[in-house]
Structure 1
Amino acid sequence: MPATAPLRAAIYARYSTDKQKETSVEDQLRLCRRHCDQKGWQVSEVFADRGISGTTSQRPDYLRLLQAAERGEVDIIVAESLNRLSRDQADTASLFKRMSFFGVRLHTVADQDLDELKVGVGGLVSALYIKDIAQKTRRGLEGRVVAGKSAGGLSYGYRVKREIRADGTATTGDLTIDPSEAEVVNRIFQEYAAGQSARAIATALNAERIAAPQSGKGTGTWNPSTISGNVKRGTGILNNELYTGLRVWNRLTYDRNPDTGKRQSRQNPPSEWKTKTVPDLRIVDDALWSRVKARQDHVRQAMNPAGILTDRPRPERARRPTYLLSGLLRCGCCGASYTLINKTRYGCAAARNKGAAICSNRATIEREVVEDRVLSGLKHRLLSPELLGHFTEEYRKAFNASAAGAAQDRQKAANALTLIETKIAGILKAIEDGMYHASMKAKMSELEAEQSRLQSVLAESPEPPALRLHPSLSARYRELIEDLARSLNAPEVKREASEALRGLISEVLMVPDAAARNGHAIELVGELAGILSLGGLNATKPPRFARAVSETMVAGVGFEPTTFRL
């Protein structure tokens, strides 16, 4: 007998943070390979995520592992322990359920083959471990704040202070003022108190090539939000109380979104804040701080004279785009967003907020003009004879494919019925010739039952009709496209239309061009651009790979969206 093929094993390894050693992954892989050799399994592929927490499932190689398992390329998944695969109880249970469905075993060096009990207990232990670590970390950070030390993060205007203790170890959590950055901080406060806007200050700092804060998602350039931030959350240069010598901790709580795996912040009530006076870190005096706060209050009141100051929506309830193309418009010069600079006109956000040192595109265009040009361009292209021809051809192919399947099934039933009737006729002929046998009665009943079933199948599956396109099909298509603008902007479908449009268009490039209409050339980028290119005279490729007028290809996920000029 032929030998049984060895199981195809996929090894997964992971370590959580940059505080752990890179060799942790190599150690896990070596241990798992040795274990697979002992079991006689063939290692088909290796997956490893470095510096990513197991509390999230959004890990590149982990997702690749799941895809390989679902494609049938893996028989068993091997890891050092269950918490390498996941530290989230729900994700662990989901992983076991999905892999069981696809017939893939989960196996760890520590616990061998995993079952419902091991997964349930292991997931619970991991969840409790993460919760315990979080509580201990918060307790430790609170202790550092009470001791007057930093609990993490480095504000602009400071640098880390290292000193060697008597035992030879280095101090941690101590900050000292950075003179050059402190000078910029004072300048920002003074200019804002003197009446300059955050936008004007950011533009001037960018023009002078003064380095901006680099922490977090910093881009290396000054933004108005870097300066003004959020008063209630204490973000932004103008709201950082550390500049007055007061450290505030526990202002925000961070929770992980279960769908995206990303952390989102929520503000804690002031009663939970922890404060500590640190006079040696003061950069701004009380008088200047008070003048800035007074001007911020004045600006807020001027922008909201009715006094209805509402909180920002919670992250999971953020509002949807206001207008049809909101969030899709991009500057063709610098790539920044094209946003409403007033109630009616779009312009480059970088040129307006960061100054000419970042982008010199000061062209603006009315919102209604942009929407009209995009929708009119779509309407014109969708009504081209070539695209209408493609529409009709695709309809014909789909109809014929469906009809072919139905015709094939009907033909099989007809052939089977002919064979059954031949057998029945043969038995009847044998009976007439005096060759009757008792077993013929049972056989005859069986054949007649099958005959009746096949006749019913044929009766319920008539011959498919020949394809005849209704003469009004083209007219109806044109009617729908002609009404495109009104339909997409109708209040009852506007939100759905906006989302559908975003599924086909990744961005709308606004290219300033004095010779173009309204001072802009407009290009669509995305899958819809490939569809529109079918209307071209030389369209020979399917939409996903068709190249359009500008011949510009933009990297995407799984395919390359086309750029199409309207």
Structure 2
Amino acid sequence: MSTVEFQDRETSLGWQREAAKETVGGHGVIVAEFFDEGCSRRLPWRQRPAAAQLMAAAEQTNRSFDAVVIGEYERAFYGDQFDAVLTALRARGIQLWLPKAGGPVNLDDPVHQALMLFLGSQSRREVLRARHRVLAAMHVQSRVQGRFLGGRPPYGYRLADAGPHPNRAHASWGRRLHRLEPDPAARWVRWIFEQRATGRSVAGIARELNDLGVPCPSSADRERNRHRTRHEWIVRTVVGILENPRYTGRQVWNRHGARTTASAHHRVPTRPPAARGWAESEKVTHPALVDEATFSAIQGTRAARPTQHGDTRTYVLAGLVQCQLCGRRLDSHWVNGRPGYRCRHGHTSARNRPPGLAKNVYVREDHLLDDLRARFPEKLGDGDDGSAIADYVRSNHLTLICGGPTQELKPCGPPRIRATADETTEGQLQLLLL
């Protein structure tokens, strides 16, 4: 059962159980049940709790069953998942029964082969069709109607009743629409935009908010932020407010792209309106906390600015340098007219520096490039601008590890290379500042 909000467990489990019992009637009895709730069929079985438990039970020699019956194919499988599960079960001498097959599945039978191909294609088509319809409908509802489509309200807003649901069936069930209205924290949102419009840095805004004791979004709305443990303003939080067009009074939907990593530390990229279906309402739908002219001007201040010589700063090894002391990626840092990389070990400009924090690690880019050229003279040569070296490091999945075991760094002289016998084995080329 993929959606717990719109389905009843007893009903969904009941009809699937009845289908399974009818399939095995006269052949056997059901001795155990595995029923996943809130898991999409698109997830692999190992990521579904009950399905993973079933496969783990199948591996036991003293298991209480010798066949598995699926109540409904489309509830259990997506795409080619069926083949993988059937293969794993058959390797352990376990049959797989389906109501639509009338019993155990036998892939040596051409009829069963065609049936499984059809069911797999149909399951995929059902998901894609439902996804297309839902996304298209939500796009129209946001752009044309300016409807609030759920989720947590932005900091500075709260939800208010906006009348009955336009769908008659939903309205008869008592469902209501919602809209955004300012709450007491709206004054701080306006203050953030005012400060940024004067040219003040984002870090300075975050510091003053912390000094004033202003509740940050995670502490102001604990019910929706119970997964967050830190309750202070950070630069990323302020930037998120400054980038959010909903503060102009327009409803926005589908502004963020999907995460490409499971880590919660990676920022979800914001996409331009024309990319991949970002929908913005054609009219103002709720009270604005900043006018559109100010909002647009503030976005411009975040664009890359040329140096006094008119060129743009570039960092060839950006994202490839890692701190040996704390494991963080070094930040690109321009100092004394040249690119470099530094690590402040988690310290940000939004709060005062802890007294016991290790000293910053800093390394110049030209020193790193010189050492790489010396390390790989036969592969890279020394006449390039560093781009070829960076491509080589990325393509070989290498990481530059900088910062020695002590916290003392010499201010002059390039870092010396200490490389393992086979650096590609560990996936890292260690550069230690000695």
Shorter-normalised TM range: 0.5 to 0.7
Distance 1:274 1:309 in 2: 33
Report the CA distance between 1:71 and its aligned residue: 4.7
Alignment of 1:216-365 (within 5 A): 221=231, 222-228=233-239, 236-251=240-255, 254=258, 267=271, 270=274, 273-275=278-280, 276-278=282-284, 280-297=286-303, 300-301=305-306, 306-307=311-312, 322-323=321-322, 325=324, 329=327, 346-349=343-346, 351-352=347-348, 355=351, 360=354, 363-365=357-359
Quote the residue 2:81 is aligned against: 91
Quote the residue 1:428 is aligned against: none
Counterpart code for 1:496: E
Quote the residue 1:391 is aligned against: none
Report the CA distance between 1:77 and its aligned residue: 1.9
Distance 1:165 1:150 in 2: 13
Report the CA distance between 1:291 and its aligned residue: 4.1
Contact 1:348 1:361 in 2 (8 A): no
Contact 2:182 2:287 in 1 (8 A): no
Quote the residue 1:196 is aligned against: 200
Distance 2:302 2:309 in 1: 12
Q: Higher mean Cα deviation, 339-348 or 285-294?
A: 339-348
Distance 2:425 2:202 in 1: 33
Distance 2:92 2:269 in 1: 37
Counterpart code for 2:423: V
Quote the residue 2:379 is aligned against: none
Contact 2:163 2:176 in 1 (8 A): no
Change beyond 3 A, Cα 1:40–1:179: same
Quote the residue 2:135 is aligned against: 138
Structure 2 residue matching 1:372: 3-state secondary structure: coil
Distance 2:321 2:279 in 1: 38
Alignment of 1:541-556 (within 5 A): none
Distance 2:53 2:21 in 1: 23
Contact 2:321 2:330 in 1 (8 A): no
* 1:51 counterpart = 2:38: yes
Quote the residue 2:392 is aligned against: none
Contact 2:343 2:361 in 1 (8 A): yes
Distance 1:227 1:157 in 2: 13
Alignment of 1:444-459 (within 5 A): none
- 1:67-126 per-residue CA deviation (whole Å, 9 max, x = no partner) reads 33345545322232112222x212233323333344322223554333433322211111
RMSD over aligned Cα, in angstroms?
4.3
Alignment of 1:493-512 (within 5 A): 493=423, 496-498=426-428
Structure 1 residue matching 2:68: 3-state secondary structure: strand
Structure 2 residue matching 1:162: 3-state secondary structure: strand
Distance 1:28 1:206 in 2: 55
Counterpart code for 2:295: W
Distance 1:486 1:148 in 2: 59
Quote the residue 1:437 is aligned against: none
Quote the residue 2:56 is aligned against: 67
Counterpart code for 1:68: A
In the alignment of these two chains, the number of paired residues is: 342
- 1:338-394 per-residue CA deviation (whole Å, 9 max, x = no partner) reads 965965654342x425536xx9466123548985329xxxxxxxxxxxxxxxxxxxx
* 1:118 counterpart = 2:115: yes
Quote the residue 2:405 is aligned against: 373
Q: Higher mean Cα deviation, 240-249 or 65-74?
A: 65-74
Distance 2:215 2:286 in 1: 25
Report the CA distance between 1:238 and its aligned residue: 0.9
Contact 1:107 1:113 in 2 (8 A): yes
Report the CA distance between 1:280 and its aligned residue: 3.4
Contact 2:35 2:50 in 1 (8 A): yes
Quote the residue 2:419 is aligned against: 487
Report the CA distance between 1:322 and its aligned residue: 2.8
Report the CA distance between 1:129 and its aligned residue: 0.6
Quote the residue 1:147 is aligned against: 145
Structure 2 residue matching 1:280: 3-state secondary structure: coil
Contact 1:244 1:283 in 2 (8 A): yes
Structure 1 residue runs without a partner (length 5+)? 1-13, 229-235, 258-263, 311-318, 330-336, 375-484, 501-566
Which one has a larger percent helix, Structure 1 or Structure 2?
1
Counterpart code for 2:358: T
Report the CA distance between 1:190 and its aligned residue: 1.6
Report the CA distance between 1:287 and its aligned residue: 4.5
Distance 2:247 2:429 in 1: 44
Contact 2:319 2:330 in 1 (8 A): no
Larger radius of gyration: 1
Tell me: higher relative CO, structure 1 or 2? Use CA pairs within 8 A at least 6 residues apart: 2
Counterpart code for 1:160: L
Contact 2:321 2:329 in 1 (8 A): no
- Percent sequence identity is 19
Structure 1 residue matching 2:251: 3-state secondary structure: strand
Contact 2:252 2:278 in 1 (8 A): yes
